[in-house]
Amino acid sequence: MPNDKGGRLHLELPAGVADILPEAAERFIALRRTILITMAGWGYRPVQPPLIEHAEALARALPDSDEEVSFYKMVDRLSGRVLSLRADFTPQLARIAASRFAEAALPLRFFYEGPVVRHVPNLKGKRRELHQAGAELMGVMDPEGDAEAIAMMVDCLRASGLAEFKVDVGQVEFFKGIFKDVTLAPDMLFAITDAVKRKDLSDLETALADAPLSDAKKELLLALPLLAGGPEVLKRAGTLAESDHSRAALLNLSRALEFVDKHGLGEYLTVDLGEIRGVNYYTGIIFEGFVHHVGTPLSRGGRYDDLVGAYGRTLPASGFSIDILSVAEALALQSKGARTARSGAFIINFLASRDEAISLARSLRALGVRASRDLVKRPLGESVAAASEQNFAFAVALGADGVPLEKALLVDLATDERREVSKEELKGCLQNI
């Protein structure tokens, strides 16, 4: 590890990564468990692809260039081939579906969880290491499949405890349909697409000024960043749409929204036809989850019917991913920094033998109670303070001064209430903490 001139170690982390310390890690682990249980409840099955793959396999489905994301690469010392760290789970799930489940009954329903590592040229507060959980539904072309993906994502966010989140839903084929019968220079098309994405009407007007498009198309493109709201947006868009392709996209979106309503989750959705993220990657409905006090999306998803084909099998697919850390941060803001609930027992032993303390800890763990022994010899007050700092609910002192041997001192670390409890009653007092 490099040193500075004074010989001190450089211990700072690279930009875009962070340590997850105990308080945040406890929230993260609990949230991850909740999300995975929710996904399993929808009948999806877990898969766990490797963090490292051959670069050429992942490069078949590079993330959309709009995301400014690329892979970290290295040379395999064993084979000499170029390897990449996973930057996105979806290409790996597409590879697995094409190669390992070629004869399996459809649809395929998978969920996953783990880290992704991305090279982001312009960080601007973004993380290079994300912790994602997500799901993929493969083999369903009907908008009911899109609705299942949306509803499942909403279910996961609801289960997490988030309040007042919203999911924006768009349809990239509506935008693509505007250009079906015209050919624009690549730089002109890029300028229009970029302005719509940023919802910058001034730049959009400039980009359209010299574009060889009809007045009706220009009117639609200028309206696009403003076509957001409830289902009534679809009617307004329908009056502006010229192409059959765009009208079919609106019908597809309308049907998906109806199916989400049947799941009882329509209240969480907002239509946004100006949302055209990943226009070169997605092939239909797209969606993102937000809360008002977090600037970046908590979750993202959409339809990507061409991706599995990159691995040799034609298979329609839709799915989503959840940024677990971002959801955890949103929950922390929602709770105004409240600590995670105290739990478990910290056992402090002043007896000559350790046997009773070890036996008590084992018994509590068998009951599902978090239990640790104090391995540092120190006064009772210092041990109780250490237990409180480590977020235990109770401290249990065996053999403390002034306490009969047949009893233990039980300290409630939330209130500092202290009482003597018979050892026969002790497990009953602690089994539900």
Q: Which span out of 21-25, 191-195, 291-295 was modeled with the highest average pLDDT?
A: 191-195
- Side chain identity at residue 150, one-letter code: I
Contact 170, 286 (CB under 8 A): yes
> Residue 375 has which token pair?
């391995």
- Distance, in Å, from the CA atom of 140 to the CA atom of 108, rounded to the nearest integer, reads 9
Residues 415, 342 contacting (CB under 8 angstroms) = no
Question: Mean of the pLDDT values across residues 157-161?
Answer: 97
How many CA atoms, within 13 angstroms, populate the side-chain half-sphere of residue 71? 25
**Band of the pLDDT at 62, cuts 50, 70, 90?**
low
* Type of residue at 432: N
Q: How far apart are CA 35 and CA 116, in angstroms?
A: 17
Per domain, the residue ranges of the chain are 22-334, 345-430
Q: What is the token pair recorded at 128?
A: 């290079």
pLDDT digits (tens, 9 = 90+) for 66-117: 444 588 999 999 999 999 999 999 999 999 999 999 999 999 999 999 999 9
Instruction: Assess contact for 227 and 274: CB atoms under 8 A.
Output: yes
Task: Quote the pLDDT of residue 67.
Answer: 42
Q: Where are the beta strands (DSSP E) in 279-360?
A: 285-290, 299-303, 317-323, 345-349
Contacts of 394 (CB under 8 A, 6+ apart): 344, 345, 346, 387, 410, 411, 412, 413, 430, 433
User: Using 50, 70 and 90 to split pLDDT, how confident is the model at 313?
Assistant: very high
Q: How buried is residue 120: exposed, middle or buried, by Cβ count under 10 Å (0-12/13-18/19+)?
A: middle
**Coil, strand or helix: which one is 96?**
helix
Q: Please, are residues 243 and 181 in contact by the beta-carbon 8 Å criterion? A: yes
| Residue where the block lists tokens 């010229």 | 242
Q: How far apart are CA 134 and CA 398, in angstroms?
A: 47
Distance (Å, rounded) from C-alpha 191 to C-alpha 208? 9
- Tell me what percent of the residues of the chain surpass a pLDDT of 90: 84
Q: Please give the Cα distance from 222 to 404 (Å, whole number).
A: 81
**Between 11 and 34, the higher pLDDT residue:** 34
Does this chain's domain 22-334 share its CATH topology with 345-430?
A: no
3-state secondary structure (DSSP) of residue 272 = strand
Query: Average pLDDT for residues 49-62, to the nearest whole number?
Result: 89
Instruction: State residue 369's pLDDT score.
Output: 95
Residue given tokens 């922390």 in the structure block: 332
**What is the pLDDT, as a whole number, of residue 68?**
42
pLDDT for the residue numbered 124 = 77
Do residues 274 and 237 lie in contact, with contact meaning Cβ atoms separated by under 8 Å? no
Cβ(127)–Cβ(268) under 8 Å?
Answer: no
CATH class of 22-334: alpha beta
User: Which CATH architecture is the domain 345-430 placed in?
Assistant: 3-Layer(aba) Sandwich (3.40)
**Is the per-residue pLDDT at 337 higher than 80?**
no
Of the candidates 169, 146, 347, the residue with the CA atom closest to the CA atom of residue 275:
169
Q: What is the pLDDT of residue 65?
A: 47
Angle, helix 22-41 to helix 143-160, in steps of 10 degrees: 140
Mean pLDDT of the chain: 93
